[in-house]
Structures are given as structure tokens and as C-alpha cells.
């Protein structure tokens, strides 16, 4: 399992045409000890470590993945206006990425995750982009005023 990067992405989809998406990515190849800590000391839905979950993903074991997903039940999926939806993403050198999608469906916990978030805050790089390219939102140069004679 060769992991190259971990990111947390988010969007405020409830804002419609004013949605802003962002992603913060950490190059974990520069932090192998921290990556092992994240993988081994992070629990997913209280039933598997992050390392175990990623192996389930790599093995494409849909039955086990569903068991992990089913272990976390939530009562209220309502997103308030302006609320953000986050995704936890793991990128591999030799495999398709693992993306949680909406993290409200997942419980990610443990000291490994908490320590990684601190590293991610310091070392991660951020990208932001508008949720759509609505022409009304694209800034255009204003016409120059005509000189008065």
C-alpha cells in the first residue's frame, strides 16, 4: 500500500451558486512515521483501523466495506444553510483513491487522526475554487471611462 497524499476537501453545497469548494492536501511521503501513526491509531466507525479500511478498499471487498459503513448510524443528515460537507481522501501511487464522500456517514476517531490533523494544518497545501463557473460570477474588466473633452 503506497500512499502518496491525504486530503480533506469540503464544500458548502447549501449555498447553491455561491458554493465554494476547497481541498487541503498533505504529501505524506515526507512524513512516514506520521502516516503509520494515522493508519494504525485511527478508528473508522469504531470497528476497523484506517489501515484495515484502506486494505478493504484495495481488495474491493464490497461486503466488508458495507459492514464498516453500516456500523455508523446518524440521526440527522440535515445540512444547515452555509454548512459544509467534508470528505476525507487517501491517494495511492498504484491504486484508485479512497474518498469517504460526506464524512457525516463516517466516524473517524483516535489519537492518530488527531495528531495528523495538527500536521495537516501546518504542512497541507490549500486549493479553493468556485463551485461552478456561472458567468454572472466571473469578474470582468470594467470598461474604461471615456475622457471628457
What is the reported pTM?
A: 0.77
Sign of the Cα pseudo-torsion (13, 14, 17, 22, in order) = negative
CB 112 within 8 A of CB 28: no
| Contacts by residues 65-71 (CB-CB < 8 Å, ≥ 24 positions apart) | 68/44, 69/45, 69/105, 69/106, 71/45, 71/46, 71/47
pLDDT tens column, 19-73: 677 888 999 999 999 999 999 999 999 999 999 999 999 999 999 999 999 898 7
Amino acid at each position: 500500500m503506497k500512499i502518496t497524499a491525504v486530503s480533506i476537501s469540503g464544500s458548502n453545497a447549501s449555498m447553491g451558486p455561491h458554493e465554494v469548494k476547497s481541498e487541503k492536501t498533505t504529501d505524506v511521503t515526507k512524513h512516514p512515521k506520521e502516516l503509520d501513526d494515522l493508519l494504525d491509531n485511527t478508528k473508522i466507525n469504531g470497528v476497523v483501523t484506517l489501515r484495515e479500511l484502506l486494505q478493504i478498499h484495495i481488495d474491493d471487498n464490497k461486503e466488508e466495506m458495507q459492514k464498516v459503513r453500516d456500523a455508523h448510524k446518524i440521526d440527522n443528515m440535515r445540512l444547515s444553510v452555509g454548512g459544509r460537507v467534508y470528505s476525507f481522501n487517501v491517494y495511492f501511487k498504484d491504486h484508485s483513491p479512497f474518498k469517504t464522500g460526506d464524512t457525516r456517514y463516517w466516524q473517524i476517531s483516535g489519537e492518530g487522526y488527531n495528531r495528523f490533523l495538527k500536521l495537516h494544518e501546518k504542512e497541507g497545501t490549500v486549493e479553493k475554487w468556485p463551485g461552478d463557473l456561472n458567468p454572472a460570477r466571473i469578474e470582468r474588466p470594467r470598461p474604461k471611462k471615456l475622457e471628457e473633452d
